[in-house]
Amino acid sequence: MTRPTPSTYRVKSFGCQMNVYDGERMAEMLAARGLTAAAEGEDADLVVLNTCHIREKASEKVYSEVGRLRREDGSRPLVAVAGCVAQAEGEEIRRRTRDVDIVVGPQAYHRLPGLIDTAVAGGHAVDTDMPADSKFGALPGRARRAAPSAFLTVQEGCDKFCTYCVVPYTRGAEVSRPWGQIMDEARALVDAGAREITLLGQNVNAWAHDGRYLHDLIEAMAGLSGLARIRYTTSHPNDMHDGLIAAHRDIDKLMPFLHLPVQSGSDRILKAMNRSHDADSYLRLIDRVRAARPDIAISGDYIVGFPGETDADFDATLKVVERIGHAQAFSFKYSPRPGTPAATMDGQVEAQVMDERLKRLQALIGQQQHAFNLASVGRDTTVLLERAGRHPGQLIGKSPWLQSVVVEQGAIGDLVDVRISAAGPNSLSGVIAQKEAA
Ligand code: SAH
Ligand code: SF4
Ligand code: F3S
């Protein structure tokens, strides 16, 4: 069956920041091909569901989303499933639902335009290749306008094979993009209005190219005059080298924030997770980072209820969290993922136990986050304004420590001097500093 050629599109991203970045690149590619973005709330001829496979709940979402795309008259848009579910399930998606026309994996989405042509002609449009040539060289240049805070993927894939995780299978092996290509893209983003760039990778601190490392890249990027702030995420403890730690001391534009997942505080569980670090080495690493940059905000990821996790193991996690003192952190119930070693391990933890552990962990992290926010009150700092607030005239931006700050003046894209006036559990209020007369 042939279908009409789409002229409007919408891309919906459900996953991590890298998945959001991929969504932006797909949107730019469709725009470069002459399609226009469907307005908010309006029907699109082509919908790209850019999916995430990390936990079961995220992964199943795609099917309810597909169902929701059916219109009242029974018709539906051209539907593409992209992202990590596409990679993991491939053909299976089209067996489960006939309402998907295109399946395209995270390393093949530069071929989306061709797949659209194939689908329109009624052909077979499934592409989950991991081609040797990286997609990046085949993508069009970045859009002419960028948000104040922009993402830039520098590293893809993962070779770590934590026993619970699908990423090494959905994203493939660790690959670093070349230096020149990244710097060109950074310049394009700054020219397009970005004031902050977040360098992305599943293991971003493993980035290396021609004998240069992530801190070299950050240093070079700090030389771009229009760029005010640099961040990077997500890092792995085993790739957190001295040069990067020193960069937190030496490079002003590098923001004092580190997302460094430890996952568990129990060495026994860390071993079963194949994390190849223990709790103590992680804590010593945090101490070294704090010695270099005392005010650094530490974020992390935790999994509760990994197979075999006992009360004592969980207590060890709480202890580690107490030792760290997070500015924020993410925590998840363990979700068994098809094809991963942990899914078939003995000692799967009951849902009720997981719920209870997650609640306790989140309460502790929440307290720490609130305490971190309260400690910011009275500080003079900078805020990059990123979006409109709830009330007229209000704007929301980010502090250097990635806290959301609400201010009453300014324009999106401004980097303003602010005194923090109040703190809640999830955000701060700030007053714009009056500029002294020149
Ligand atoms: N590469 C990053 C994280 C990628 S996934 C890193 O290693 O730090 C983001 C987070 O999802 C992980 O840090 C982990 O906490 C969580 N996660 C991954 N697989 C999971 C699973 N099967 N169940 C629950 N949480 C999981
Ligand atoms: Fe997944 Fe571990 Fe790789 Fe992170 S390091 S992406 S958790 S396998
Ligand atoms: Fe999800 Fe894939 Fe990112 S599984 S977390 S979208 S790498």
Q: What spacing in Å lies between the alpha carbon of 106 and ligand 3's midpoint? A: 9
pLDDT at residue 2 in the model: 79
CA atoms within 13 A on the CB side of 272: 21
| In the predicted structure, residue 1 carries a pLDDT above the cut 80 | no
- Ligand 3, atom nearest to 84 Cα: 2
Residue 106 in contact with residue 126, Cβ under 8 Å? no
pLDDT at residue 435 in the model: 63
Query: What percent of the chain lies above the pLDDT cut of 90?
Result: 94
Q: What spacing in Å lies between the alpha carbon of 168 and ligand 2's midpoint? A: 7
| Other residues' Cβ atoms within 10 Å of the Cβ of residue 426 | 12
pLDDT at residue 110 in the model: 96
In the chain the domains, ranked by start, together with CATH numbers, are 8-127 (3.40.50.12160), 136-374 (3.80.30.20), 380-432 (2.40.50.140)
Sign, CA dihedral 272-278-282-285, equals negative
For the chain, give the number of residues.
Answer: 438
Average pLDDT (290-309) is 98
Average pLDDT (65-70) is 94
The bound ligand whose nearest atom lies closest to the alpha carbon of 106 is 3
Average pLDDT (139-165) is 95
Average pLDDT (414-423) is 97
| In the predicted structure, residue 438 carries a pLDDT above the cut 60 | no
- Ligand 1, atom nearest to 333 Cα: 24
> Average model confidence (pLDDT) for the chain?
96
Residue 241 in contact with residue 205, Cβ under 8 Å? yes
Q: What is the pLDDT of residues 205-247, one digit of tens each?
A: 999 999 999 999 999 999 999 999 999 999 999 999 999 999 9
pLDDT-based confidence at 434, cuts 50/70/90? Answer: confident
Known binding-site residue numbers for [4Fe-4S] cluster: 16, 52, 84, 158, 162, 165
Helix axes 311-324, 279-292, angle to 10 degrees: 10
Q: What spacing in Å lies between the alpha carbon of 335 and ligand 1's midpoint? A: 10
List ligand 3's pocket residues with C-beta within 6 A.
15-16, 18-19, 52-54, 83-84, 166-167, 170-171
Q: What is the pLDDT of residues 52-61, one digit of tens each?
A: 999 999 999 9
What contacts 147, CB < 8 A, 6 or more positions away?
193, 194, 386
| Other residues' Cβ atoms within 10 Å of the Cβ of residue 195 | 21
| In the predicted structure, residue 365 carries a pLDDT above the cut 50 | yes
Average pLDDT (98-125) is 96
Ligand 1 pocket, mutate which of 20, 52, 54 (most atoms under 8 A from CB):
54
Residue 337 in contact with residue 166, Cβ under 8 Å? yes
pLDDT at residue 133 in the model: 81
Ligand 2 atom 1: residue of nearest CA: 165
Average pLDDT (301-330) is 98
Q: What spacing in Å lies between the alpha carbon of 39 and ligand 1's midpoint? A: 33
Average pLDDT (340-368) is 98
3-state secondary structure of 403: coil
Ligand 1 atom 15: residue of nearest CA: 301
CA distance 161 to 129: 20
Q: How are beta strands 380-388 and 155-156 bridged, if at all? A: unpaired
The bound ligand whose nearest atom lies closest to the alpha carbon of 59 is 3
Which residue, 356, 358, 336, 272, is CA-closest to 308?
A: 272
pLDDT at residue 436 in the model: 55
3-state secondary structure of 73: coil
What contacts 227, CB < 8 A, 6 or more positions away?
186, 190, 194, 195, 196, 197, 221, 253
pLDDT-based confidence at 86, cuts 50/70/90? Answer: very high
Helix axes 17-32, 112-120, angle to 10 degrees: 60
Q: What is the pLDDT of residues 329-338, one digit of tens each?
A: 999 999 999 9
